Structure 1
């Protein structure tokens, strides 16, 4: 199929009859798809949204991305995607202006499918569906599904365990494990990557790519890693340790403070829209979720970071658990990061074997080409039925959102209320 027109607002709609807000069924042919990631800062969910959107555009669909400003704007341009600026989405606050702006976007672009990523855009789209007919698909690739995510539309989640947790929703729940472009994310030249990053060829490099945020203890884990690697010192004889940290977020300042106190060389790279050199430069990588998968695709041994001091090596003995629950964990279990890095530094053959194993695992299980086939089938299936207004679902989502706000504002009172009602937020 030929690429979609670049000006998606004025693209012709061959063989379609459409009025503003019609609950029509589109004729066979390319779909108009509005993709709504929650932000354009480097992170697994955002990169997945952009990659899948670009692949759908390459198949001839008319695709636009509606998202707040951020460093990934350049990546949108590189992938040939049209970007429509959005106000900031927040999962813990809902602004009437954001809903009004979204309704204007819907009336201007008139999508056949709206695909939101994470809870902020999902809630805005759910509320908008009270006013306009909408075919809405949600992806929540975080480690939990917030209660205010609208429950009457298809939901894509990233792990088997999460799919089971939300199986009682009124809408369908589908498993879409985080896809990885194993062509773009493939083992590269370590020496060349280090040269581009200004890292000595003989250093022992540990890399992490991800959001430096409070969510899931991401920034806290990086701070913990800095401390453990600092105490470890030189992990291999004659190899100066270097920690590469690529990412930004609401706790970036705290990570920078920890880096400034460290004796080891910690390189704070900021937000890196294309972090492939950061993965390729590594002897060992750590991270969670989609970032861990991308590191595995680069054939690097990976230590999965979780909450509460969780660190675990990806190896055949741990793979089944990660495939079930996601590349994440909670609570200290087994060795800490420093001990795992020290063992890997002392055994280059094991590093090579684990790198090869991780690459094979990702190629066989997390192919982006297979994911886009499934997603396109889902879009076509949803587009075959009329769009609908969903005022009751919007109201339910707002009520649950209100409870969440109450829980955030007064957690003790909310816990007491939940005990009297015998139900969750």
Structure 2
């Protein structure tokens, strides 16, 4: 089967890693012919190293993009795929006219957001990343909502795969130091709140000189976050918080960590490295991943919404608990690794995705369904643009 993957701009990010790793799995484990189209960016190196055929698209800041739609149509005309796997609603806006309505190629749409975007098609086969979101989507009228959780390649992300000493040496992390690591895009939207709160927790516990915090990533919020970190470091009188910048391969950061703080795929990769993980979200949410919280995170994903309590007590308490107990760090890390192997292995998720793609490819594109989705999506997109102008 010939599969085209329509991915995000190839900037450094967890969803891009998910899409590329699943593309390689579909080719290597399932025997499909796979090509990947997206706007160029630094993650193209990961595509190239995986040997996946890359078809570049013009970049854009708004969707739908006429320039993109023209190139997409030409790609579909030349490649003649059996099915197209579209990642998230911006790509869907660029794709639905040319791929489904005009070329009549089946699609599977994957959404890894922590909400159900109204712009997504309700009649196409659409996947969401948690059982809770699947339930929400079905209640909202999505006819073919399915579960595809963020996958983790548990062979590439494993405790003994990467030597942690180079990362720790590069950033002056001593053997006795307890290193907290966050791997994240540094953006104001969703991410920066939990990073600031982690810095606040480090400040609160900073009388323990072993505590260090490494932030692996880059983005538009980096300069503000670095300014905040300078204030914390000055108050503590030492370089407790460091920035490594973005790493195309962030595994050395996970390997070097004693504790991982993160959300979504970043939290799960930390778990795959047998690290204890504090899962963060928005509005002050923070909780340890543990046998007591496993059920919550399985249903809701590695994320949560807090009650807005400004005290930061949950994150500080979780970090203090792990800082003081190396035995609990080990036991929770082992538990996390076993959990990821059971639920998020790329072999399990890749097979489920393969079944969905094959089902879509064998299902005829029903014109009335496509027109219904196209009109609905276009109406919502126009309404959104008009609302932003006022």
User: Normalised by the size of structure 1, how large is the TM-score?
Assistant: 0.83
For residue 211 of structure 1, what is the aligned residue in structure 2? Answer: 185
Q: Does 1:174 align with 2:149?
A: no
In the alignment, structure 1 segments of 5+ residues that lack a partner are 1-30, 411-425
- Return the match for 1:336 from 305, 314, 335: 314
Q: SS in structure 1 opposite 2:92?
A: helix
Counterpart for residue 201 of structure 2: 228
What's 2:267 paired with? 292
Deviation at 1:197, TM superposition (A): 5.5
**Equivalents in 2 of 1:232, 1:112: separation in Å?**
56
- Mapped to 2, the partners of 1:407 and 1:163 lie a distance apart of 28
Match of 1:358 in 2: 336
CA distance in structure 2 between the partners assigned to 1:111 and 1:270 by the alignment: 38
Aligned residue number for residue 185 of structure 1:
157
Query: How do 1:296-311 residues align onto structure 2 when only pairs under 5 Å count?
Result: 296-311=271-286
The alignment covers a number of residue pairs equal to: 375
TM alignment of 1:128-277, pairs within 5 A: 128=98, 129-167=100-138, 168-188=140-160, 189-195=163-169, 199-215=173-189, 217-235=190-208, 238-239=209-210, 241-263=211-233, 264-277=239-252
Offset at residue 226 of structure 1 (A):
1.7
> Cα deviations across residues 265-312 of structure 1 (Å, max 9, x unaligned)?
322222212111111111111110111111111111101111011111
Return the match for 2:383 from 377, 380, 403.
403
What is the CA–CA distance in structure 2 between the aligned matches of 1:294 and 1:150, rounded to whole Å? Answer: 30
Once the 2 structures are TM-superposed, how far is the Cα of residue 335 of structure 1 from its aligned partner?
Answer: 3.3
User: What displacement does 1:84 show?
Assistant: 1.2
Equivalence for 1:37:
7
For the Cα contact (< 8 Å) 2:63–2:93, is it kept in 1? Answer: no
**What is the rounded CA distance, in whole Å, between the counterparts of 1:393 and 1:49 in structure 2?**
24
**How far off is 1:219 after superposition?**
1.5
Q: Shift of residue 118 of structure 1?
A: 1.5
Q: Give 3-state SS (helix, strand or coil) of 1:125's partner.
A: helix
RMSD, matched Cα: 2.0
Distance 1:205 1:347, change over 3 A: same
Which runs of 5 or more structure 2 residues have no equivalent in the other structure? 234-238
1:49-78 deviation line (CA, Å, top 9, x unaligned)? 101100111132111111112221111111
The equivalent of 2:236 in structure 1 is none
